[in-house]
C-alpha cells in the first residue's frame, strides 16, 4: 500500500477525487479519481482545508487527508 498525502475535493459512493499536496497550489489541476475499493484506509486530517482550482469543477474546498492506496492501481494509473 502506498501512502498519498493531499486533499479530497469530491467524493461519491464509488470514488474519491484526490489532489496531491504538491499539485494543490496549481491552477486547473485535474483530480485523480480513486475507486473506494482500491483505498485500504483513508484518514481525514483535523486541519483547515484550502481552496483548490480544479479543471472540471472550478474552485473547490479540499479536505486534507491521507490515503493508503493499492500499489498495483497506482502503477497502472500513474504509469510508474
- The structural domains of the chain, with segments of one domain joined by +, span 2-78
The pLDDT assigned to 29 comes to: 93
Query: Which residue in the block uniquely carries the three cell numbers 474552485?
Result: 59
The angle at the Cα of 70, spanning 66 to 71, to the nearest 5 degrees, equals: 105
User: What pLDDT, in 10s, does the model give residues 25-73?
Assistant: 898 999 999 999 999 999 998 889 999 999 888 899 999 999 999 999 9
DSSP letter for each residue of 12-34 = -SSEEEEEEGGGTTSTTBPPEEE
CA dist 65 and 8 (Å) reads 7
Residue 20 grid cell: 496531491
Amino acid at each position: 500500500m502506498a501512502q498519498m498525502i493531499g486533499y479530497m475535493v469530491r467524493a461519491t459512493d464509488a470514488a474519491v477525487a484526490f489532489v496531491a499536496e504538491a499539485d494543490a497550489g496549481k491552477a486547473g489541476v485535474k483530480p485523480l479519481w480513486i475507486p473506494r475499493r482500491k483505498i485500504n484506509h483513508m484518514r481525514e486530517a483535523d486541519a483547515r482545508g484550502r481552496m483548490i482550482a480544479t479543471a472540471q469543477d472550478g474552485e473547490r474546498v479540499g479536505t486534507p487527508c491521507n490515503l493508503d492506496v493499492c500499489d498495483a492501481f497506482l502503477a497502472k494509473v500513474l504509469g510508474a
